[in-house]
Each structure stands twice: as C-alpha cells, then as structure tokens.
A and B are shown apart, each in its own frame.
Chain A
C-alpha cells in the first residue's frame, strides 16, 4: 500500500472533549471505589487471608528475593518489612484481630482529599518498597467522644477512622498505612493458626508448597489465550451431573482427587487415557469414553487450586512476602 494511505492510518487523532468528559466520569467512579478499598476493611482482608500460608523462615524469604533477582538493598528492605510485622506483640495481634472481627471499619469522619489519596499511594510504595515506617502509631479509641481532633485514630465503638480537619501529614498517612498492614497481618496470623488444625479443603490448599503453587500458576498462564479452561470435548449429561455432585462432596471434605491431575506441555503428549491439563491450549484433555469419578475429582481439585494459586501469589506480593510473579525457566 502506498505511503500516503499508510500515513493516514498511523497518524494520531485529536481526541474530542466529549471522549475525555465521559472517560473522566469513569475515572471518578473508579477512584471512589478505590477509596473504599483504602479504608480499613477487615472483612475483605480476612476472607483473602484465611487460606494463605505464611512463609515463616527469614532465610526462605531471602531465598525468594534471590530467585526473583532482587538486589541486596531490596533484600534488606524486604527483611525490614517482615521484621516489623513479625515483631508485633502477641497482644497487639490479638487486639487487631478482635477489632477486625468486630466488624468492618467502613466510615470516615471526613473523606480523603485528592491530594491525600495521591500521597497515600506514594507513601504506601515507600512503606513497602523503601522501609519508610511511621515514628508513632495510630490511636485506638473506645468511644467517639474521646477523639480530640488531633492526629489520626480509629474509634472502635463506631468503627470510624477519625481524621483531623487539616490535611493529613506524611506521618499521619504512614500511621494509617501501618495500621492497615498490621491488621491484615494479624488476620493472616490468627487464621493461619486456625486453618492448619482444621483439615478442610481450604487447609489442603494452604498446605501447598510455593513450588506447587508456582507450577500451577505457570501451567495455567503458559498459553497466550486470554480465555482459559474448557474441555477437549463436551461433557455428557451424566458427567455434568456427577461433576456437580462431586464438587459438593469435594467441598464438604469427603472426596479429593487422587492422584493429582497430570499437566502436559503439548497436546501431542496426551495418550487418550485418563485426564490431563494441557499448557499449550489451557484445556483439559478428556478420554473418549465417560470420565470416572476419580478423573472428574482430579479436574475439580485442579479447578479449585487455580484461583487459590492466583490469589495467594497476588496476596504474597502485596504483603511483601514475594518479590514478583513466578517466571518460567
């Protein structure tokens, strides 16, 4: 095609005002939702924390950093963050956990300003990435009347985050960030204690090693398709019915998939017997005949593990226990 025609397709267009106006409306809505998430939200953090395993050994944490190729300085910051969380007193963990379970802290005595939101995001990066911690800590009040308008505080009687009328200082914002991280960590710690003795399917997930989690994550993300899953053939009516029944049994801890689902790199590797997950096309390979209950359970088990692995990796990155996403060798 001659240059003139191609030129027209490469040129930048002037984006009209109406486009920006509608886009800004969407961004405003997104920021409002983002602000809701900035508030101390115990229920959400609790639900996400409850099936994650905390890697306890500092050496293992350092090894994680080395695997992801971080610098020595980054390893030191990583350790500082972990130390800060792990140095919390048992009573502080217990108090924060009880506060979380008393209910969601979901109101503010005034909204954050746009500048405070921006500064909050920047300071969170410094807190997590550069080990910048507050000098003091946020006050915890037991009655609303006792807030004197100075500094930041959480009122446990009304579950309100109390902010002064003046703009929040960096120290005050850091105290809020610190409080949020410590609360999330406390929920994580207490749930870890609970889950490891429970023996349900969630603790089965929590018992997965980092290597097992990474393997499943990498297998599921190996293909370049943005829609994953699907089966190599339609399930029969009998298989669909048994799939529903077996899922219910799986989640009630009566049945697990044994042995574990085989993961194949290429479609050609599938022999036609048993079931497998193929990395090349993110598809479950099914035999020609009906799948047995055991085979369906292998698929059900794998399908439960996929979202768990994604959530756990995202959560561990957010908490600073991982430096990044698993990478294929």
Chain B
C-alpha cells in the first residue's frame, strides 16, 4: 500500500495501516532523535512516545502531504521533553559502554555528529538526512528560516573542522 493510502487509513484509526506507516518512518525517526539525544535508551523512549502521540492525534493531521513534517515536530518536542526532564545526555568525552554493540557505520555517524553542537546537529540531520526544506525545518523547530540557514552553515563548519582535525 502506498504512503498516501496508509495515511488515509491511519487517520481512520486503522491500526495495521498506522503500524505499517510508522515502521516505514523508523529510520527517519531514529536518525532525528539520535541527533538530539545521542543515547539509545532515551531515543527509544522518544520514539515510543511519538508513536503513541501520533496514533492519538492522527485524525488531527490536516494536510496529508505534511505528515512527515508533523510527525517529526512531535518527535522533536518529545526529545526536548526528555532533555528537560534531566535525563543523561551523552557528551563526546563520555561515550556509553554499549559502543562495542554498535555497527561501525553507527559509530562513525555518532562520532561525527558528536563533534557538532546539538543546536546545529539536528538541523544538519533534518536537512541532509531527512531532506526537509529550510522552511519546513523552521516549522519543526519553531525558529525562523534565517536561523535555520545560519545553523546549517555553522553545523557544516563544525563538521568540516572534525574531518580536518588530526
């Protein structure tokens, strides 16, 4: 079933359509939440909360083509809620014990993104990894379009510095 049909059925509270729809978004949700939280336990909680919130509010989605923007905004808000509730945030000099369980590419990704401030990291991921336009990112994060472009630019600088450092 294509995404458009899944969204329409999910809005009518079809649990199978909703599940299939959200499973197709898991990679996207994981990357986005990981860019903010960096810790898999917190990411798991954020995604779980997002699934339940999206199910509850699915029929409030006004325009189907903005489903991903809407879902990502809910996810970002949930991630921020977790940060605000004083959960542990992983800093670059305090890598978790489970590094050994991660794939090489996951480790590479995490180390590269850890070199970028969180405020810029999420913008980089939303722009490059998830393909959102700057206007959509502005809506998701609740900031101006120009702030998005500034953060993108600074995020790119920090990533460049990481790759250029010995």
Chain A positions near chain B (C-beta within 8 angstroms):
1-2, 4-6, 8-16, 18-23, 25-27, 29-31, 33-35, 37, 117-118, 121, 220-221, 224-226, 228, 314, 317-318, 325
- Whether A9 contacts B51 by the Cβ 8 Å rule is no
- Whether B40 contacts A19 by the Cβ 8 Å rule is yes
Task: Give A276 Cβ to nearest chain B Cβ, in Å.
Answer: 20
- Whether A221 contacts B63 by the Cβ 8 Å rule is yes
Count residues on chain B whose CB falls below 8 Å from chain A CBs. Answer: 53
| 5 A–B contacts from the bound complex (CB under 8 Å) | A5-B156, A9-B129, A13-B34, A27-B22, A226-B139
CA distance A23 to B73 in the complex (A): 18
B residues in contact with A225, CB < 8 Å: 139
Looking across the interface, which residue of chain A has its beta carbon closest to that of B5?
A: A125
B residues in contact with A19, CB < 8 Å: 26, 30, 40, 43-44, 47
- Contact partner, B16, options A21, A37, A121, Cβ 8 Å: A121
CA distance A29 to B44 in the complex (A): 16
Contact count A vs B, C-beta below 8 Å: 121
B residues in contact with A29, CB < 8 Å: 52
Looking across the interface, which residue of chain A has its beta carbon closest to that of B27?
A: A12
Looking across the interface, which residue of chain A has its beta carbon closest to that of B157?
A: A1
**A14-B105, A18-B40, A19-B26 are contacts. A224–B45 as well, Cβ < 8 Å?**
no
Binary interface encoding of chain B residues 81-117 relative to chain A, with 1 for a CB under 8 A from any of its CBs, else 0: 0000000000000000000011101101100110000
Task: Give A30 Cβ to nearest chain B Cβ, in Å.
Answer: 5
CA distance A247 to B146 in the complex (A): 41
**A4-B163, A8-B108, A226-B139 are contacts. A37–B13 as well, Cβ < 8 Å?**
yes
CA distance A121 to B18 in the complex (A): 12
The residue among A21, A23, A34, A317 with the most chain B CB atoms within 10 A of its own CB is A23
